[in-house]
Amino acid sequence: MCFFLVTSFGLWKTVMIGGIVCTFYTSLGGMKAVIWTDVIMFVVIFGTTVMVIVTGVVKAGGVGHVWETNKEAGRLDLIQFPWDPTQRMTFLNLVIGGFMNSLPMWAVSQTAVQRFLAAKSIKDAQA
């Protein structure tokens, strides 16, 4: 999609080229090629995330300014124990939200499905 946005290629051409390239390197390299592609994508995404955070902090005036601004706004009171579900960032909200957020990770995430389908046995999938 990014390639489509920064070039003059049409959307369908971009999708087809991406599909052909991915099919080609997967056919040649198998699961090893797919895993190395995942590793490279992790490095790119993690590096980009770090760059965005650093750039945002620098443009906002530094870590001290960001910290003070969040402290004044009450954003640093991380764990609170009231039972009001409408209040932001309470312990109960974190537990329920964390549980609901972790469910798809073990059922329908691309990583889990890839592990289950690529494993030779149930024991290998559980490792």
For residue 49, the model assigns a pLDDT of 97
For residue 41, the model assigns a pLDDT of 93
For residue 1, the model assigns a pLDDT of 61
Whether residue 46 contacts residue 55, with contact meaning beta carbons closer than 8 Å, is answered with no
For residue 69, the model assigns a pLDDT of 95
Whether residue 91 contacts residue 79, with contact meaning beta carbons closer than 8 Å, is answered with yes
For residue 6, the model assigns a pLDDT of 79
Whether residue 26 contacts residue 33, with contact meaning beta carbons closer than 8 Å, is answered with yes
- Kindly give the confidence (pLDDT) of every residue in the chain, 127 residues in length, as a single tens digit, with 9 standing for 90 and above: 677 777 777 888 888 988 999 899 889 888 888 889 899 999 999 999 999 999 999 999 999 999 999 999 888 877 778 887 787 778 888 888 899 988 888 778 888 888 778 888 888 877 7
